[in-house]
Amino acid sequence: MSQQVPRLGGLSGRAHGVLAASSLPRRVPRRARRPRRVAMLSVHTSPLHQPGTGDAGGMNVYIVELARQLAARDVEVEIFTRATTGDLPPSVELAPGVLVRHIDAGPYEGLAKEELPAQLCAFTHGVMQAWAGHRADHYDLVHSHYWLSGHVGWLASERWGVPLVHTMHTMAKVKNAALAGGDTPEPPARVIGETQIVRAADRLIANTAEEAEELVRYYLAAPASTAVVYPGVNLSRFRPADGRAAARARLDLPQHALIPLFAGRIQPLKAPDILLRAVAALVRDDPALRRRLLVPVVGGPSGSGLAKPEGLQKLAARLGIADLVRFRPPVGQEQLADWYRAASVLVMPSYSESFGLVAVEAQACGTPVVAAAVGGLPVAVQDGVSGYLVPGHDPADYARALRRFVDDETRAERMGAAAARHAQGFGWEATAATTVEVYADALQERRGHLRSLHG
């Protein structure tokens, strides 16, 4: 069979679905059957949770948007997640064709993500109970998200005789190789677990070519089974709309301020402290900027950041910029879009990002991005056009990038227009279309393998 790179429209010539390293994907034959129903697994965080709280973040958005778009393509999705309160119904319809199933596994509240491996047996039992109420062929495929779900998916795939597609979202070895100061390394048990999933999965979905290469380099993934599918952005929700002035008026923000925004979970990995240190450097070098600067931090403590939930507020006070920083709790998607629109620039100094959905969302709203040149951010941000990529994590480098917006008041508007155009290449429709190709390819290969065993 010839090997070609499947391409989809809307990415200005970039391949939206490719395979890692030296192997290219097999083109999905036209006769390949798409799945009718997919069991999607998200053990540690529910797609119903508010992104920016606890462990909820980009993965939640990814699962919700992908599931909606799959259902729009007549692929039913049932999402299995752990029940976190006792009053949750067994199942909730998230959208037509998308069902969220709540599985009892461990205490409802007070269970840290690090304690969840001990509950995987209970979670798997709940998934098997749900399956037992259906025909044996109810699910055509399992798609697991994050390593905890991968272990449940591994067993379900073998029990049901269907392919396992797995998306890592983040990887322990990659995070540990770029650990933020004061952050906690990922444990060896996770590294072992991820290695086992890589071996068990029929297909691995990576967010970028770099992530696919990391799967091959760190985990010895088979290149021919590793597909690159860019995440997307909800372009109907995240859009310039009525512009920066109107958004600032709605949020009661000063119209003529320079507003560098941080939006996301507050933890060392996301490095919001670098933004604060960069702003302090700007004010120290040019005290007159104090009258023009406002720094919103929209999000809540998460992960190792929970150990010092007020650490960022204390840092702002120590740096002498507490009067410039506004801390706001996580907000819903509609209001988050307004924060993006209101900002002069989004700042994303993360130590590790598998993709950087927040960067694409902000650009879709017409806001440029200053981001660390790590992970998928060089794909999400068009350096010098829709924003600036900063090598390393020196606050002085971020201060210099922000200074460009100080010195040229029209830069945010010009780059924001380019950012909105750049973001148009990242719709969830294209993500779902390529994901369906990956599903169909996995099903085709599984059927071919079964034929060879019985032939």
| Binding site feature residues | 44, 50-51, 55-60, 113, 146, 170, 190, 265, 270, 331, 340-341, 343, 353, 361, 367
Cα separation, 273 vs 253, whole angstroms:
22
The count of other CB atoms within 10 Å of the CB of residue 53 is 17
φ/ψ of 85, rounded to 5, equals -140, 155
Contact call for residues 453 and 40 (beta carbons, < 8 A): no
Tokens of 226: 């590793």
Annotated binding-site ranges for UDP-N-acetyl-alpha-D-glucosamine:
50-51, 58, 265, 270, 331, 353, 361
Annotated binding-site ranges for Mg(2+):
340-341, 343, 367
Cα separation, 158 vs 152, whole angstroms:
10
SS3 at position 80 = strand
Is the backbone of residue 265 left (phi > 0), alpha (psi -120 to 50) or beta? beta
184-220 burial, b if ≥16 CB within 10 A, otherwise e? Answer: bebeeebbebbbebbebbbbbbbbbbbbbbbbbebbe
Cα separation, 169 vs 438, whole angstroms:
17
Strand-pairing partners, residue 262, are: 297
Annotated binding-site ranges for 1D-myo-inositol 3-phosphate:
44, 55-60, 113, 146, 170, 190
Contact call for residues 228 and 216 (beta carbons, < 8 A): no
SS3 at position 274 = helix
